[in-house]
Amino acid sequence: MALDIDRVGDVVVGTWRDGENRLNLDSLAALESLVAVVESTEGPCALVLAGEGKFFSNGLDLERFGGDPDQLTATVARFHVLLGRLYVAPAYTVAAVTGHAFAGGAMLSCAFDHRVMREDRGYWCLNEAEIGLPLTAQMAAAVMGRLPRAAALEAMLTARRFSGSDALAAGIVEELAPEDRVVEVAVARASAVAAKHRRVVAAHKRHAFGELARTCGWDA
């Protein structure tokens, strides 16, 4: 699992460099460590998570789980908790959607306060209706807790592949950027909020998403 953690001013930047950036027990442990860095940082701080290359994240590592259903169960449960933890993380968070965000990768992006997506290539897609794997109640709550209801339902029921411009129009992402500037734009957005009073930001996130976080198994 390759997840580099750097600082750009007050922004903690995680860059996921693992090919398709699949979700498994190893990658979840690394993502949990990234969030823990933010939680333990005193003073101004914000978080950016970026992919590298073709994928932001291609979702659950289904090939790895093929012969090990117990590992799949454990991974899904741990993913639920990570979603809840991110929703109420005590800092402003930005997803730099540098490539495709499919299934669990799309859900993961929903747990961030702001999304910047590559404008020219890449899709945001909940393809579970295509591959025959229904969202859990926790996953559905994470998607519907962030997105406009119409966009969430279209994504969940039709497995539509949203391009950057489609995702922006639907309210799935807040900004688009050229490929070589996605991370730069995400860091700039995070930097602009990093110096806000974190205790207040954290309290407001708990007001907004505390119940959702508890549904996912994380109690802040």
- Residue 86, pLDDT score: 98
Mean pLDDT of the chain: 96
Alpha-carbon dihedral 189, 98, 25, 213, rounded to 10 degrees: 40
- State the average pLDDT over residues 26-36: 98
Q: What CATH number does the domain located at 3-216 have?
A: 3.90.226.10
Using CA atoms, how far apart are residues 209 and 108, in angstroms rounded to an integer? Answer: 15
Q: How many residues does this entry show for the chain?
A: 220
- Residue 53, pLDDT score: 85
What are the tokens at 14? Answer: 């995680």
Are the C-beta atoms of 126 and 109 separated by less than 8 Å?
Answer: no
**Residue corresponding to tokens 């993913």:** 79
Model pTM score = 0.96
One DSSP character per residue, 114-142 reads: EEEEESSS--EE--HHHHT-PPPHHHHHH
Predicted confidence (pLDDT) per residue in 61-110, tens digit = 988 887 788 899 999 999 999 999 999 999 999 999 999 999 999 999 99
First to last CA, the chain: 27
- Residue 68, pLDDT score: 83
- Residue 69, pLDDT score: 85
Annotated domain spans of the chain: 3-216
- Residue 67, pLDDT score: 76
